[in-house]
Structure 1
């Protein structure tokens, strides 16, 4: 159920200012200024969106070996992603169970244990407390391990949830296997990662990502090869030819629209496909192949698979490489966009792909997006800003706004 389908409380019967603002929202119009600037709304975002939903934190190839770890900062939290000696992946909050000090002080490495620098409590890389010096005899170490987050690993992607009772992930898992699984992401590796700090509220960054109304004027490089900025009739024509090529390869890439609020206890996901222009193989500057084919693809089908998941995770799959887009709030008017490039796990830079060619398109596009988002953020901060109507080509943004309002309207 979307927010537009849900009656909101009358402002006159609700004393909470955020709830009154939600109730006052006009359908088909963008969000009011306060949603991008107010610290109290930002805190509610963290509680009701960020801590409720699943987030892709990494591709599992970033910790390939037993005892590897990497530290991730997400909003106010720090998460230690580890692979224990048996190969199992864990996500642990970087908070000592004694006085709260950070037990992991390095960005990444290989360690069987983490020793708190304050009082030397020692934790295994599975989170269990192994030693707590000079504690009384009745102290139970098993009750004081690092807090573990829920973890799912699907098609090589590592997802975490901060919720005590996380949203059902079964539909997401099925659809990821039908999409990213067909592209061989289980056997992929990270070719590059880049983080872009953005001087804007996280929702401005996500809203920009989900719509292509701006692609034509703002992304001439992207628009030379991708047909998503075309009218719907032209997209349908190109998509039909793309699907015929995909089926001829003996591949059926999943598509499904399970974009839903968390009212039913399930995570939201939407997977769809769209065509590149005729003669274009992949997302490159000249449309020519960039890297070895992945997964079940024995040839290029001239298409792209896109996945929107849980509000902060977005995936793009080409036959020869993949992209993970992560949106991480860092403050009421600040966020980060992390891009992760995936290639065939056997591919080597300089031999099988050229690094600069591989990263060119999304580096250029994201730099343009950063500029656009920050221009918008400065305008939205004006006390004279009034949101305007959502254009037909911004239908995904409209849906995202409705979804977001529903999420923050409920405890």
Structure 2
């Protein structure tokens, strides 16, 4: 006898759509979502080419004509700062025969010259010269493909979409959160990329839930109360908010986690407490860098931001974290961590880099191992996803959001 869910499945539909229809509410994703190349290609089209992604902090290109190349799946994006100080993003694909026009990872350049036939582009993407082309050739029609860019509180966001999702709710909430921590005036203290032998969704799902924090992250769990169920840390959260208000600061929070059906980007910002006496995310819970933004003291709290499906931000009063999830293939991805400090802070004088990076270096190494254990496990033909636990509510929300996104062209 077929179940109600099985009976509702249209067996003439696209195989991926049938998998989506067969998904059991309240449970994890089926094996194919983590391994099928066709699902991965749909992920790229309907998640990565539809949504906004934080690609860096603008301090990565501090000077006029600075550039850096970023890679997502098969795409290469050149991010530049032009003569007027504005930030641009364009695809690293010559408009003639498709060669890479920028062959260095980073540097300083006013123009990019394609090594194949010497077509020359300005660092805003405009075509400056195309040697030996006919007189009726229109250079203005053959500039590099440019991407939509927004810079908010020092964060560079790009969108591959022709018509990008409305960014206003994201911008407002970033001003209310990262703005209070002074991220616009921050600078990058350190960057680290972790290659992960797993589908990108396994990495994201691991990040968004803290059900695993207690058993998997003893270092994190010594200082961060998020490893406890919400009802057990309500008093700590209330005390944190009282300290924040006493400093004259109102750090915003808000839930605009929504699918793209209405044309708006998804963002969710929330606050949670550190344990009593803990100032920051560090090995001993003590401060690791000078206070940032409007903070004149430590409030014993953390602000966490989930944005667009691939970008996650963590704000402490003395430093910040950007977490980027970067798909590479159907069964591999990268996690890039970016540590931010006050723009005037100097390594060796104001902070010790090893102490600054210790907690999230340890935690991310543990996450990499866990994710790869899971990636190998879900390859089993006998894997059947289990129910999502109450402490995994953010994962459940993420799964539902993801399924809605890939169900629509």
CA distance in 2, matches of 1:97, 1:14: 40
When structure 1 is superposed on structure 2, of 392-401 and 10-19 the one drifting more is 10-19
1:353 equivalent in alignment to 2:351: yes
For 2:15, the equivalent position in structure 1 comes to 17
SS of corresponding position for 2:233: helix
For 2:263, the equivalent position in structure 1 comes to 265
Alignment CA distance shift 1:147-1:8 (3 Å): farther
CA distance in 2, matches of 1:12, 1:260: 27
User: Which stretches in structure 2 are left out of the alignment for 5+ residues?
Assistant: none
For 2:185, the equivalent position in structure 1 comes to 187
Tell me, yes or no, if the aligned pair for 1:70 and 1:107 is still in contact at 8 Å.
yes
Tell me, yes or no, if the aligned pair for 1:11 and 1:19 is still in contact at 8 Å.
no
**Aligned-pair CA distance for 1:237:** 1.0
**Aligned-pair CA distance for 1:132:** 0.2
For 1:388, the equivalent position in structure 2 comes to 386
CA distance in 1, matches of 2:345, 2:379: 46
For 1:55, the equivalent position in structure 2 comes to 53
Alignment CA distance shift 1:13-1:380 (3 Å): closer
Tell me, yes or no, if the aligned pair for 1:9 and 1:19 is still in contact at 8 Å.
no
CA distance in 2, matches of 1:235, 1:16: 45
Q: How many residues align?
A: 405
For 1:3, the equivalent position in structure 2 comes to none
SS of corresponding position for 2:99: coil
Tell me, yes or no, if the aligned pair for 1:211 and 1:396 is still in contact at 8 Å.
yes
Deviations 1:389-408 (A, max 9, x none): 00000000000000000000
**Aligned-pair CA distance for 1:15:** 2.1
CA distance in 1, matches of 2:303, 2:12: 43
CA distance in 1, matches of 2:240, 2:386: 35
For 1:159, the equivalent position in structure 2 comes to 157
Deviations 1:125-150 (A, max 9, x none): 00000000000000000000001000
Alignment CA distance shift 1:8-1:265 (3 Å): farther
Deviations 1:149-175 (A, max 9, x none): 000000000000000000000000000
For 2:404, the equivalent position in structure 1 comes to 406
Alignment CA distance shift 1:87-1:370 (3 Å): same
CA distance in 1, matches of 2:118, 2:78: 18
Tell me, yes or no, if the aligned pair for 1:323 and 1:340 is still in contact at 8 Å.
yes
For 2:124, the equivalent position in structure 1 comes to 126
CA distance in 2, matches of 1:92, 1:205: 27
In the TM superposition, what are the counterparts of 1:1-400 in structure 2 within 5 Å? 10-12=8-10, 14-400=12-398
Deviations 1:284-331 (A, max 9, x none): 100111000000000000000000000000000000000000000000
CA distance in 2, matches of 1:56, 1:297: 24
Tell me, yes or no, if the aligned pair for 1:8 and 1:22 is still in contact at 8 Å.
no
**Aligned-pair CA distance for 1:9:** 11
CA distance in 1, matches of 2:8, 2:169: 34
**Aligned-pair CA distance for 1:234:** 1.9
**Aligned-pair CA distance for 1:8:** 12
Deviations 1:93-121 (A, max 9, x none): 00000000000000000000000000000
**Aligned-pair CA distance for 1:232:** 1.7
SS of corresponding position for 2:313: strand
CA distance in 2, matches of 1:65, 1:274: 36
**Aligned-pair CA distance for 1:14:** 4.1
Deviations 1:14-57 (A, max 9, x none): 42000000000000010000000000000000000010000000
User: Which stretches in structure 1 are left out of the alignment for 5+ residues?
Assistant: 1-6
**Aligned-pair CA distance for 1:233:** 1.7
Alignment CA distance shift 1:405-1:123 (3 Å): same
**Aligned-pair CA distance for 1:13:** 5.6
CA distance in 2, matches of 1:298, 1:12: 60
CA distance in 2, matches of 1:339, 1:147: 28
SS of corresponding position for 1:80: strand
**Aligned-pair CA distance for 1:10:** 3.9
